[in-house]
Copies of this chain bind each other. A is one copy, B any other.
Amino acid sequence: MTEGPSLFGPVASDLVSVEDGLQADIDRDPPEVGAPMAELFAAGGKRIRPALVLLAAKCGRYDLERLRPAAMAVELTHAATLVHDDVIDRSTTRRGRPTVAATLGDEPAIVIGDFYFARAYEHAARTGVPEVVDILARAVMAICAGEVRQQAIRYRYSTDQAEYMRRIEAKTATLLAACCDIGALLGGVAGDKRDALRAYGRELGLAFQIADDVLDYTATEGEVGKPIGHDIIEGFATLPLMLASIALEDQRRLTEREARDVVTSVRDSDGPRLALDEARKHAHAARQQLRLLEMSDASSTLASLADYVVTRKL
């Protein structure tokens, strides 16, 4: 979280209080579930989801006491999905450290994920607004439905861009949109303005995920904290590969050597640049949504976030 203060503007210090709340929470949990979650949090993460809850609410009435549990809920939901994703994808490294599944085994990782999903819904309920639970639960269902579809296209490298967009919509954009929607709801931002914040979150999510998928080809392992070419090794074609026009034989896992060659070919192609252009279009669309809101520290921070997600190096 090195970029905290400047990146999150007027909510930076409140995010620290959210972080403290999460930490205090986890410290009170049974150590069998709490300790691995504490490690995951200690390993980093940008906390963009709780930031979106707070910033969206800052566009209306801002009451940290009601917002804090909502912000904690979205971050715990994200963390729980990561723990389960790493079981499903058999990933051994996350944020530069061994995954929960790799360290403790699949069985504890499943239970730890379930525990923190439950904790997230409990916090969502603590806002006193049942719709917050509803929005969060629907986002999780969308993530799950996308995950099932994703499993179905594993090793089908020829899937098209439309399929890719549906996938990142479910994987990332839905939860970021939900964060903005929850913030707007709790901040009393209604009607067109709430719709605009939700749409901003969605576009930001699309931009963020495309940029992430570009980094999976162009960054170094030290920068992203997991092996480069992770997606293609796992059997998933992402936008940089699609735009590199590299044909791969469907229905089989690539060898390590083949995967390295694909990464090199994609790096040397126009794929990453074209994909980043695509990401920038969504970042621009995100900023456009903000025109419906009054200018404020919060809205200009949201605008900067849209720039950040397509320029970040890790």
**A residues in contact (CB < 8 Å) with B:** 30, 32-33, 81, 84, 87-88, 106-108, 110-115, 117-119, 121-122, 124-131, 133-134, 136-138, 140-141, 144-145, 147-149, 151-152
Contact = CB atoms under 8 A, between A and B. Distances in A.
Nearest to A134: B125
Question: Which of A33, A112, A113, A137: most chain B Cβ within 10 A?
Answer: A137
Question: Which of A115, A124, A131, A151: most chain B Cβ within 10 A?
Answer: A115
Q: Sorted from nearest, which 6 A-B pairs have the closest CB atoms?
A: A125-B133, A122-B137, A115-B144, A118-B140, A125-B130, A32-B148
A121 to B, nearest CB: 4
A115 B30 contact: no
A131 B133 CA distance: 11
A111 B144 contact: yes
A126 B118 contact: no
Given A87-B110, A117-B117, A144-B33, A129 B126 contact: no
A108 B141 contact: no
A140 B114 CA distance: 8
